[in-house]
Amino acid sequence: MLRTKQKRTEQAADLRLQSQIGEEERFGDLMRRMARENKTAVISFFVIILMVLAAALAPLLTPYEENGMDLLHRLSAPSTEHLLGTDEGGRDVLTRLLFGARVSLLIGVVPALLSLILGAVLGAIAGYRGGIADAVIMRIADVMLAFPSMLLAMVIMYALGGGILNVFLTLTLVNWANVARVVRAQTLKLRSSEFVEAAQIIGVSRNRIMRRHILPNCLPTLLVLFTLNIPASILTESSLSFLGLGIQPPNASWGLMINTGRQYLYNTPWLCFAPGAAIMLTMLAFNFLGNGLLDVLDPRMQKQ
């Protein structure tokens, strides 16, 4: 079952490495346990693998070209030749969907990873150093979090202009603050833990403590945040592209396909609903997988 973002973030902030609660469980064992206990997460995992494969092998899976125009067969209904019909330029919708998956998945993964790195580093610095660094970083994060995410993304996209690199940058700037807040909270807890104190006493440098002790212990949290940030990024990008502010043609993301298909909504609804269904499926799969990881990594769930 899906939980609200707020609740999941709180739960993710409480994750610890298994070693800290006594019993050591290797990552492989954890994944096996998830496979046994959470069928939805496993199915989601395979759906994601399938989607990545379909995107990677797109040219082999379809006889049509991504931008292959065929003006004699514009806006044709789904048929055996074109399983999902054709768009306003006579291009095969299924083919565009497969190629669009490349862009949309990339847009899910890259900003999620970048915002994770930025947020983790800044959050760890804020939590471990404290003082002025903490105050400055967290006030900036507060300001970022005060914006409705879509509005912030729109303003940044306006300033930067369209294009895929700017979409990466924008989504990173929108998402890092939440990661930083979670990592900071966890760092504060870890800082007062016994093994960090022990390391301090034997004279390990601050940077080394941060690299070797604090950040590795935040890994389970970061893994969950990463999985959950992917659908969030895909959603924001598709909303931006829907408004014409994201990816620019001839690149095709699912959001952009919906944007161009919207003019033909009443006569050829599949132009909008096919990429829409793809977005939904992707978001569901990543959300389920994220929740599965959250449950399997959460020590409180283990005891039950």
Partner 1 sequence: MRKNLTQRLLQAVIVLAGVTLLIFVMLRIVPGNPIETMMGEHADAATVARMTAELGLDQPLYIQFFRYISSAVRGDFGTSYSLGKPVSQLMGSAFVNTLILAVFAALFAWIVGIACGICSAMKKNRLPDRLFMGFSLLGISLPVFMAAMFLQYIFAFQLKWVPISGTDSWAGFILPAIALGWNSAGQVAQMTRTTLLETLQEDYIDTARAKGRGPLGVLIHHAFRNAMLPVLTMMTVQFSGLLSGAVITETVFSINGIGRLMVQAISGRDIPLLQGTALLATTVVILGSLLADSLYSVLDPRIRKEG
Footprint of partner 1 on this chain (CB under 8 A)? 1-7, 139-140, 142-143, 146-151, 154-156, 158-159, 235, 238-239, 242-245, 258, 262, 265-266, 269, 272-273, 276, 279-280, 283-284, 287
| 171 vs 196, beta carbon nearer partner 1 | 171
Check the CA dihedral 274-279-280-285 and report its sign. positive
Burial code (b: 16+ CB inside 10 Å, e: under 16) for 82-121 equals bebbbbeebbbbbbbbbbbbbbbbbbbbbbbbbbbebbbb
| 1 vs 202, beta carbon nearer partner 1 | 1
Amino acid at 239: S
Q: What is the DSSP string of 39-102?
A: HHHHHHHHHHHHHHHHHHTHHHH-SS-TT---GGGTTPPP-SSSTT-B-TTS-BHHHHHHHHHH
Q: How many residues does this entry show for the chain?
A: 304
Minimum distance between the CB of residue 126 and partner 1, rounded to whole angstroms?
16
Minimum distance between the CB of residue 256 and partner 1, rounded to whole angstroms?
12
Minimum distance between the CB of residue 174 and partner 1, rounded to whole angstroms?
11
Query: How far apart (Å, rounded) are the C-alpha atoms in residues 8 and 221?
Result: 10
| 3 vs 73, beta carbon nearer partner 1 | 3
Tokens (6 digits) for 58: 């797109």
Minimum distance between the CB of residue 300 and partner 1, rounded to whole angstroms?
14
Minimum distance between the CB of residue 206 and partner 1, rounded to whole angstroms?
28
| 9 vs 86, beta carbon nearer partner 1 | 9
| 98 vs 157, beta carbon nearer partner 1 | 157
Query: Containing H/E element for 296?
Result: helix 270-297
